[in-house]
Amino acid sequence: MSERCVEVEFGPERVRVPEGGYYDRFRMNPDLDEVARDPAAGNIDFFRRIPKQQVDSRVGRVWAPNFFYRMCSVQLLYLAPAARLRAMLPQPLEPLRALPGRGLVALTFFSYLVADNDPYNEVSIAVVVRRPGARGPNMLELIKSMRRRNVYGHVLALPVTTEIARVRGVQGYQLPKWLARIDVSMEEGVRADIAAADGTPDLTLEALLPALRAVPSQSRINTTNMLNLIDGRWHQTKVQTNILNHAEQMLPKGVELTRHGGPMSQLFDGLGVGKIVRMDVVKDGQAVLNMPTPLSALDPKGR
């Protein structure tokens, strides 16, 4: 039975969202005491220290940041020729080289189970880039970013499973989002896949579920900084992930990614991705997506 939906406005578009869902009830400004009573959300103390505010955006005043109360993800980090990556990046972004002539590409499957804009799945293909204004050896910067769990990237593709997630990403952030069927499972093993527009398989991931480790809330927070052009100006969008149950594997074994020829597969082929150097699994986590902020360090005119 299909769920009942209501129509809402976001910027110039009208989209349908689940009736009685978080977006319908709260419009991105939730009552955290009410969210705390939702058993699916779990402990939400992490979000109580991050007050929401109404901020200006390219679609008017919006409540920010965006909260994801329960999520999971699997990320594969690949080596790829730096020359190929540089050709795919807008100037002045530079790929962060992990080895001479080799940069890094991250493929990430996300499943947002409880969120301000309702449940949905997402897939990201992103190039790891140098921090704006960084100087010195690439390897030293890479080591520092891993130690601080603070990385920078440029997203090349970000398909999603719901219209509200697509519209918010395109209108609010100018991210490369489109609708696709995406499934993510972490029960007996890791399995994730995305379909092309015609419903045929695009990418399929299968991997053994590594030994997971639970950590106290707010003891392990990763920060990802998305760098992209919005209306012709450079912006930085910060995503903070509060990891609760996770695993990391260097040079993982038993990971199979099958490319079936869809748009994500073609993008992967074009990037020339090769060896998997790391797999990160977050079985349980929380995330905060901030609004983009101008990044004058990348503007050659210093505007």
| 264 and 201 Cβ atoms separated by less than 8 Å | no
Taking a C-beta distance cutoff of 8 angstroms, is the pair 154, 53 a contact? no
pLDDT at 112 > cutoff 60: yes
Binned at pLDDT 50, 70 and 90, residue 300 comes out as: low
Percentage above 70 pLDDT, the chain: 98
Per-residue confidence (pLDDT) for residue 301, from 0 to 100: 59
302 vs 32: which has the higher pLDDT:
32
Cα 59 from chain centroid (whole Å): 21
Distance CA 85, CA 101 (A): 10
Domains of the chain (ranges; CATH) run: 53-298 (2.40.400.10)
Query: What is the per-residue pLDDT across 134-147, written as a single tens digit (0 to 9) for each?
Result: 888 998 999 989 88
| Sign of CA pseudo-dihedral 38, 62, 50, 161 | positive
* pLDDT score for 2: 54
**E strand or H helix at 204, and its extent?**
strand 201-207
Any idea what DSSP says for residue 292? Answer: P
Pair 99, 138: CB distance under 8 Å: no
What average pLDDT does range 120-126 have in this prediction? 98
Using one digit for the tens of pLDDT, what is the confidence trace for 244-293?
Answer: 999 999 999 999 999 999 999 999 999 999 999 999 999 999 999 999 99
**Within the chain, what is the greatest distance between any pair of CA atoms?**
58
